[in-house]
Amino acid sequence: MELHEPATGNHYTVTHAPLLKRYAVIGNPIEHSRSPFIHEQFGLQTGLALRYEKIKAPLDGFTPVVTDFFAQGGCGLNVTVPFKEEAFALAQAHLSVRARLAGAVNTLWMEQGKIHGCNTDGVGLLNDLLRLGYSPQGKNILLVGAGGAARGVVFPLLEAGCMQLHIVNRTEQRARQLQEHIVSRMPQLASRLSAGGLAQASGQWDIVINATSSSLGTTPPDLPHGLYRHGALAYDMMYGQQATSFMIQAQEQGAGLTADGLGMLVGQAAASFAIWHGVNPDIQAVLHDLRRQLHSA
Ligand code: ATR
């Protein structure tokens, strides 16, 4: 920075240590978030110096914390439970189509003085399905759950060309509301999207995705038997040290492959990283490291 000293007319230069661009994940709870590790690894891979923190916002104080973060020069935020809907409201004027259809935002950034929002959860899931060799194109997909996690992936799955997407939920009405939310905004998708209760999950599915929070406990969703077409994929958006109860149930019922959501986690982070930095990082290397960490924890 060059300064002019009025008394002497001298010019002199002040050098600062380079200020790292600041990013963070914001949620409550946030202690166990792996986002700082993931983004730091992406930064190392791509040669971008950055600082990535965890911020625990009070349950009733999300907006002031975000506003303050950006006012202090913060560049980007990942948003996690339970604030994705509040983030959506905050970025209302500058939302991506995916965020608008999801009704939830997991990625915020500042552009020309305005807060922008996107939802990268769906991209994270799609990338992981492709990595596993299960392109949604032309597939019959059963989506179990109608909460925040499910909302983020309905439109991306339809956009990726699945033949039929059937949403089922323990509370049937929520599944129907989610269906109506999408169809009212994109009527052309109506013929490929259906909804019902868990008992109406019957069919032969190529991909079954668990977007419920059932895997926080030990009981899988109460689904009918015979859901899996030969070679079908059972995908749990949650992850843990061991296979989730949904994955075990699917193995017992003849799924061809089961997978947890660790790849989706890294994929959504990679998509946020690309929005913020304009560079696509390597998902596979970080996923490998995270899996190792999880097993040795
Ligand atoms: P999230 O943001 O993680 O999706 P949420 O919005 O509270 O959290 O939604 C949780 C989802 O998991 C819901 O679809 C919930 O079903 P209900 O709408 O009937 O509550 C579902 N869920 C949670 N535990 C479940 C279980 N044991 N079996 C089936 N569905 C379950």
The predicted structure's pLDDT at residue 233: 98
The CATH code of the domain that includes 276 is 3.40.50.10860
Q: Is 215 in the pocket of ligand 1 (CB under 6 A)?
A: no
Write out the chain's pLDDT in tens, 297 residues. Answer: 343 434 444 444 444 446 899 999 999 999 999 999 999 999 999 999 999 999 999 999 999 999 999 999 999 999 999 999 999 999 999 999 999 999 999 999 999 999 999 999 999 999 999 999 999 999 999 999 999 899 999 999 999 999 999 999 999 999 999 999 999 999 999 999 999 999 999 999 999 999 999 988 889 999 999 999 999 999 999 999 999 999 999 999 999 999 999 999 999 999 999 999 999 999 999 999 999 999 887
Whether residue 138 sits in one domain with residue 33: no
| 189 found inside a domain | yes
The residue ranges of DSSP E strands in 145-259, in sequence order, are 164-169, 193-197, 205-210, 228-236, 257-259
CB 106 within 8 A of CB 87: yes
| Ligand 1 site-directed mutation target among 88, 198, 200, 213, most atoms within 8 Å of CB | 213
CA distance linking residue 169 with residue 196, whole number of Å: 7
The CATH code of the domain that includes 158 is 3.40.50.720
Whether residue 257 sits in one domain with residue 126: yes
Mean pLDDT of the residues in the chain: 93
CA nearest 242: which of 285, 289, 286, 297?
297
From the list 54, 84, 114, 139, the catalytic residue is 84
Whether residue 111 sits in one domain with residue 92: yes
CA distance linking residue 214 with residue 221, whole number of Å: 6
Whether residue 134 sits in one domain with residue 115: no
Whether residue 153 sits in one domain with residue 51: no
E strand or H helix at 70: helix 62-71
CB neighbour list of residue 291: distance below 8 Å, 6 or more residues apart: 262
Whether residue 155 sits in one domain with residue 31: no
Q: The whole model's pTM is what?
A: 0.92
Share of the chain above pLDDT 90, in %: 91
Task: Name which residue sits closest to atom 2 of ligand 1, judged by CA.
Answer: 148
Q: Is 122 in the pocket of ligand 1 (CB under 6 A)?
A: no
CA distance linking residue 105 with residue 86, whole number of Å: 8
